[in-house]
Amino acid sequence: MIDQEKIEGRSVGSFIFLRDKLIALEAGLFTQRRIRLYGSGAVVAYAISLVARLYRQSWIFHPDGKPSCVDFPIIG
């Protein structure tokens, strides 16, 4: 039996059941509280990366305005 025949052989109820499960999962993942938590985590991660760049003095541009090579940092 090919995949198309398997799909056509399924009952509509199984698709509705799967859809309802996915909607319930989405409703649980994307609550206002969790979105606020995800956003706060992104802000904290960005702040930590800025502090790390300040500490290491590895900015995208040099003080004279020329771009620095940030793809391959020189360690040392």
Contact 58, 70 (CB under 8 A): yes
d(CA 61, CA 70): 9
Nearest to 76 by CA among 64, 58, 63: 58
Nearest to 30 by CA among 22, 69, 56: 22
Nearest to 17 by CA among 25, 5, 9: 25
- pTM, rounded to two decimals: 0.52
Considering only the C-alpha atoms of the chain, give the largest distance between any 2 of them, rounded to a whole number of Å: 68
Tell me the pLDDT tens digit for each residue of 16-65: 788 888 888 888 888 899 999 999 999 999 999 889 888 887 777 778 87
